Amino acid sequence: MAALPIGLTYWDVGRLVTIVCLPLLLSCCYVTTFLVCLSVIYVAFYLYRKSTIKRIPVSRQGVLITGCDTGFGHEFAKRLDSLGFTVFAGCLSDQSDGAKNLKTSKTGRLHVLGLNITKDDEVLKAVTYVTKIHEKTGCGLWALVNNAGLNMLGDIELCTMEMFYKISEVNMYGMVRVTKAFLPLIRKSKGRILNTTSVKGRLCLPKNAAYVITKFGGEAFSDVLRLEMLKFGVRVIVIEPGNFGGATGMLNEQSNLARLTPYLPESWMDYLVDRTFASGKQ
Ligand SMILES: *[C@@H]1O[C@H](CO)[C@@H](O)[C@H](O)[C@H]1NC(C)=O
Ligand SMILES: CC(=O)N[C@H]1CO[C@H](CO)[C@@H](O)[C@@H]1O
């Protein structure tokens, strides 16, 4: 057999190339086959999901959302309004900029309610209002979105008891109060309860204990409620947003700093060089 200048025959070269390239070729083939199968399965699954999703007729569905002054609640109220739902937008103050903005809706289906969820009487007033609209229009309450929430940052030692109480009062007991008040209406419509918790309902992060404990509480509350509501056909859903502090304006660095400064003990000063103790960055 003809020899190459490097001392190998063409046969040797052919064998070498085969040994090196064949597995590569085959593995390419496997990868391609795998990817094609995966895509086929994905498309099939997507089409199946699409064909089985039940569309909800929205025209007679009422949705009450808490915390619509800003952030998620505000945007959600607008979105549902544009989709045709009857929206009850609870705002901490019905004179806030967000509330005024929502009142400009021309659909006639968006109701702005002053709703401080830490107050029994305001929650009861909201129930009465929603019931009245229900009797007038036949539009029941189909979903409750517990969205209102409050956050303040700070190491545990630096947070006052008032901060702990205040956050729990809104995030946890506010949610319990609103849920309890609207459950009879939701059970009647076999609707759903959506509760905005947070990624911090699963993860413990430093500088945020006052908030994290309320979100763990919210997860636990929702899990229990879900089991209790099974028999009524009511679904309970938690939404766990990630890092949206900036987008929702929930974490305002300046106000955190201002709030904590009076409480800083001398012994902490050395640890606060970068000031991250009170910033939105974690
Ligand atoms: C909401 O109610 C609490 C008392 O339950 C009160 O301390 C707080 O100031 C109220 N918030 C507003 C904006 O009215
Ligand atoms: C504590 C918790 O995670 N609860 C959520 C459910 O709704 C409440 C109040 O409406 C919100 O504060 C929370 O986001």
* Domain end residue (candidates: 38, 53, 68): 53
DSSP 100-135: HHHHT--SS-EEEEE--TT-HHHHHHHHHHHHHHHH
Give the residue, 276 or 199, on which the prediction is more confident. 199
**Same domain, yes or no: 265 and 140:** yes
Is 211 one of the annotated active-site residues of the chain? yes
**Same domain, yes or no: 82 and 216:** yes
22: containing domain: 1-53
Which pLDDT tens digit goes with each residue over 201-224? 888 988 889 999 999 999 999 999
As for ligand 1, residues whose beta carbon falls within 6 Å of it are 92-93, 116, 118-119
User: For all residues of the chain together, what is the average pLDDT?
Assistant: 85
**Same domain, yes or no: 24 and 73:** no
* Domain end residue (candidates: 53, 79, 95): 53
**Same domain, yes or no: 148 and 46:** no
**Same domain, yes or no: 32 and 72:** no
Residue 197 CA, ligand 1 centroid: distance in Å: 21
Question: Does some domain include residue 220?
Answer: yes
At residue 282, the pLDDT reads: 44
CATH code, domain with 182: 3.40.50.720
- Please, what is the end-to-end C-alpha distance for the chain in angstroms? 71
Report which listed range, 86-90, 156-160, 250-254, 273-277, is most confident. Answer: 86-90
